[in-house]
Chain A
Amino acid sequence: MAQTVTERAYQGRVHEQSRRLMTAWMGELARAEAERRVTGAIMISGNCVELLRACHVLPMFPEVTALQNAIRHKSLPLILKAEQVGYSSDNCAYVKADVGLVLEGGFGPGKPMPFPNLIVCNYVGCNVYVKWFEHLADISGGKLFMLDVPFARTDAPSADDVRYVVKQLEELIALCESMTGRRFDIDELREVLALSARAQDGYARCKHLTKYHPAPFDSYFDSINMMGPINVLRGTPEAAAFFDDAVAEFEELVAQNLGPLSEERFRTVIEGPPPYPFYKSFRNLFTRWGAVAVQSTYSTVGGIWEFGFRHDPRRPLESIAEQMLRENLTNRSIVARYAQIRRYVEDWHADALVIHSIKSCRLFSAGQGDMREYFIKELGVPTLLVESDLEDPRYYAEAQIRNRIDAFFEALEHKKLVATH
């Protein structure tokens, strides 16, 4: 390997502001019971957080709880606790970590993470969501609302699809009104959606900035700082302002020709969620090769904003429905994802595709071997597939993964050398 690549000593305003905003939101959740605020659990994928916000329901995200426990190395005891009561080792570990947290007494009445009063299962692609929220409702006694979003299976959502989702949104609004005792105001929703669209603009702009060489941030590992605000806090003035600042900061980095590493040797697209229990170690395996992710699919689970879709305050419920139906990664087929990745590889000038296949999430991973075949054999894109998990540390084999990554980048480096001589 050539000269050592290091991470630039960089945390930046984006990181700090993200942390501050997310901490403030967690604080709100911790006070919700005392303040008698209605809380509503919802999933990240293609969510309708704007609607809950306009209905004065404080949103909470079980996935965020699970990933935070994983990144703090607290997930395994929780997973084991859930397995003790009958969950299978083959069940999604995100769910098990959350159930384990309840069993450990860290989730529920009087805890920093309260039980939700309302449980909105935005069934957007992931079938495990249905089970997860059935279990959450069973545990917490919260009111379960199943928001069924037809999977994207035609070129565009049909009028019947949109009508079906809009009707359910109207039913959800009525339920929220009955729980909060407040009348829904469509103009308030329009305002929330306008703020949301501003955040979407900012997030999209940031992601387009990674087309520069070097990319100003890593679109996989650093995107997590933006995924909180874009998925959880969308529709707030704070999130809109956050993305205004993020664009300014990344534009400054572009102007200074600075990226996250001392040198950008390889540009990758990364597919699949990260191994949260080993987030930093996993990142280091790429850093040492000077590999920067210039795009990632995981950063689009909540919504695909970089190709132009925005919520439209003039068509509030319809545009929420359209976003849930079409403008997010999880409600599209795995083969439709190939097209998204191909566009990333081509437009962001990536050298390679890295697939991180995780056991927990079959929505993401089932069939990624076919994806690998497609990119290698049909497009000639160098592609690496490594396996572990996003929540369960038992599936992360560092030595094995490191060997695969090293071998892959060695070959890629050799290929580059041959091409330049």
Chain B
Amino acid sequence: MTPDVAMEPFPELIAEPLSAIVSRFKAQQPGGRAIAVYPVWAPVEVIHAAGMLPLSLLGGGTSVELTHADARFQSFVCSIAKSTLELGFQGRLAGVDGLVFSNICDVARNLGSIYKRNFPDTFVSYLHLPQNSTSASVVPYLASELRRLASDFDAAFGLKVTEGALTEAIGAYDALRARIRALYALRIAEPQKLGTSELYTMLRAATLMPVGEATAALDALLPRVAAREARPRDRLRVVVEGAFCEQPPLGLLEVLEEAGCYIVEDDLLLGWRWYTADVGGTGDPFERLASAYVNQAVPSSTRHESREHRSAGLIEKVRRARADAVVFMPAKFCEPALFDYVLMKQGLDRAGIPHMLVEFEEKMWTFERTRNEIETFVESMLFD
């Protein structure tokens, strides 16, 4: 089987509404439950350990026309918040038993409570993820927050999270994340073999499957991708930064590649590959997850890290991926990304790393202007 054949179900899967995915899951597993998690990071291990299916909740993209949510959220609010609420109004989250939000930004926080008000029968949990990265109390606090989520699952669904089940879930997701890290490493080493639009499709599909199936699917793909015959081309190696929540349309990633870039690093679907290494370890699994969240985290615009400058993680990413430049790709109105852009670009300037800015909205569908901008940037770099 070629990678293209192994990839076949993925584009269709990621285009489906969650209601269809959940309906299929429940037909296969009568009595099963599914919890959708809003970006960026969520403790999917706790959901899995409760016996439920964690799914990514990434807004409506181009699939929904806003008819209700626009009356709730103003014009200056990002698209993913509005389209997520709209998914609820249009029944495209039917069958999803609960949603998990966290304090990634002010809009996401308000969205969580507004979703609950409009859909009172849906289980909605809001997690406060710590912004203090060095206090002696931060890991115990986050462990208590994860235990609270587990206890809410018990209260809402009668599903208990045991330490044994959580340890098993950490192992299962460590295995999945190891495959994702391997794909990312392969892309850095040989980007001609694995385009980002393809990698993104694989990864996004993995967030819509039971973890065991996702790991098996990536296992099947990895050797086939590695065995591909592809000649390296004279392209600009870039890091894409800023698209950690609202997801850019696939067409935009394709345009970036067509315009002469190898995307060798990015922060797409960042929460699903949050840790720099396996969580692993022994002892209280809630504490282990909490400690890994704080001490093994990839750099993220939604988490404050007082141990390094805001631009340090990005510069390290550029060096590690042997990138030539950074393409900042914040979603329109995304305050965390737009604020970080300033400190990050100043850091890149000091380090002599070229960069450009491309704003997007999940629902954009024409890319010609962006294509011209990127082509100009690429040409200016390649023929400098």
Contacts and interface: CB of A to CB of B under 8 A. Distances in A.
A146 B306 contact: yes
Given A153-B126, A163-B137, A164-B140, 12 more contacts: A123-B131, A131-B336, A134-B343, A135-B339, A138-B309, A138-B310, A144-B306, A146-B132, A164-B141, A366-B74, A368-B74, A369-B72
A158 B144 contact: yes
Nearest to A133: B304
B343 A135 contact: yes
Interface residues of B, number: 54
B110 A333 contact: yes
A168 B343 contact: no
Contacts of A163: 137, 140-141
A127 interface: yes
B73 interface: yes
Nearest to A152: B128
B284 to A, nearest CB: 14
Contacts of B340: 131
Contacts of B140: 160, 163-164
B193 interface: no
Interface stretch (A28-36, A222-230, A235-243, A356-364): A356-364
Contact of B114 (A144, A335, A359): A335
Contacts of B106: 125-128, 361-363, 366
18 contacts: A87-B338, A90-B332, A91-B339, A127-B105, A130-B131, A131-B336, A134-B343, A144-B306, A151-B126, A151-B128, A160-B148, A161-B141, A335-B113, A336-B113, A361-B106, A366-B74, A369-B70, A373-B72
A88 B335 CA distance: 9
Interface of B: 70-74, 76-77, 81, 103-107, 109-114, 116-118, 126-128, 130-133, 135-138, 140-141, 144-145, 148, 304, 306, 309-310, 332-333, 335-336, 338-343, 345-346
A86 interface: yes
Contacts of B144: 158, 160
Contacts of A361: 106
Contact of A92 (B133, B138, B335): B335
Contacts of B112: 333
A21 interface: no
A39 interface: no
A365 interface: yes
A244 interface: no
A365 B74 contact: yes
A158 B148 contact: yes
Interface residues of A, number: 54
B111 A367 contact: yes
B117 A335 contact: yes
A416 interface: no
A163 B110 CA distance: 26
A373 B72 CA distance: 8
A146 B135 CA distance: 9
Given A127-B335, A163-B137, A151 B109 contact: yes
A333 B128 CA distance: 12
B121 to A, nearest CB: 16
B131 A333 contact: no
B128 A138 contact: no
B71 A373 contact: yes
A408 interface: no
A370 B117 contact: yes
A209 B89 CA distance: 43
Nearest to B301: A131
Contact of A366 (B107, B138, B309): B107
B338 A150 contact: no
Nearest to A138: B343
A410 interface: no
Contacts of A320: none
Contacts of B110: 333-334, 362-363, 366-367
A39 B51 CA distance: 52
A177 interface: no
A206 to B, nearest CB: 29
Interface in A271-301: none
A368 B127 CA distance: 22
Contacts of B114: 334-335, 367, 370
Contacts of B310: 134, 138
Interface in A134-166: 134-135, 138, 144, 146-148, 150-151, 153-154, 158, 160-161, 163-164
Nearest to A146: B132
Nearest to B116: A335
Nearest to B136: A167
Contacts of A138: 309-310, 343
A161 B130 CA distance: 11
Contacts of B133: 146
A387 B109 contact: no
Interface string A402-414: 0000000000000
Contact of A387 (B74, B131, B304, B346): B74
A189 B58 CA distance: 47
